[in-house]
């Protein structure tokens, strides 16, 4: 019964997201394991830690803004309400935006090509995941189309 309830919930997206975040933080950081680290810019590393912290804060605040609507699954809960306040005034998927900012910060900390590839794949993944999520949100909430026309998807004022 539990597996039939999860089917169609978007659990596959959650699994892929966990794998991508795991790669970003715990995966290899160099294309060649024998490759030595290049010279890393310390200032960029400190900037990266700051960006990482800002991204973490954005994701946490966005999760708090969702309140009882928060779910790890991309399909909205049965009793969900459409949240258009807090960070949701500025971007439709602020948790994903926060995770993107966090990932960009981690890229600055690590400063390797492979980590930047993970960051790029994660950004593309969130675009794909949010597209599917928006289909479900449009089906659930009649006012979602108007919200889409007013608020950017993943990056405030840009995209």
Query: Which residues, given as ranges, of the chain have pLDDT below 70?
Result: 1-8, 33-39
Per-domain residue ranges of the chain? 41-71+83-159
Write down the pLDDT at residue 30: 83
Write down the pLDDT at residue 15: 95
Q: Is the distance from CB of 106 to CB of 25 less than 8 angstroms?
A: yes
Write down the pLDDT at residue 141: 95
Write down the pLDDT at residue 36: 56
Total number of residues shown for the chain? 159
Span 21-60, pLDDT tens digits: 999 999 998 877 655 566 678 999 999 999 999 999 999 9
Closest by alpha carbon to 90, among 156, 24, 27? 156
For tokens 């600055």, the residue is 108
Q: Is the distance from CB of 81 to CB of 142 less than 8 angstroms?
A: no
Classify domain 41-71+83-159 by CATH architecture: Up-down Bundle (1.20)
For tokens 């390797």, the residue is 112
41 torsion bin: left (phi>0), alpha (psi -120 to 50), beta (else): beta
Question: Who contacts 135 (Cβ-Cβ below 8 Å, separation ≥6)?
Answer: none
């Amino acid at each position: 019964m539990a597996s039939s309830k999860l089917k169609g919930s978007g659990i596959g997206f959650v699994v892929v997201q966990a794998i991508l975040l795991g790669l970003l933080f715990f995966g290899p950081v160099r294309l060649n394991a024998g490759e030595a680290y290049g010279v890393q810019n310390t200032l960029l590393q400190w900037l990266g830690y700051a960006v990482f912290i800002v991204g973490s804060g954005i994701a946490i605040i966005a999760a708090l803004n969702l309140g009882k609507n928060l779910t790890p699954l991309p399909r909205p809960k049965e009793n969900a309400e459409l949240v258009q306040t807090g960070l949701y005034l500025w971007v439709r998927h602020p948790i994903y935006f926060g995770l993107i900012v966090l990932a960009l910060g981690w890229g600055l900390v690590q400063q390797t090509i492979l980590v930047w590839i993970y960051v790029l794949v994660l950004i593309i993944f969130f675009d794909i995941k949010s597209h599917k999520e928006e289909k479900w949100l449009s089906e659930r909430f009649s006012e979602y189309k108007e919200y889409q026309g007013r608020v950017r998807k993943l990056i405030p004022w840009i995209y």
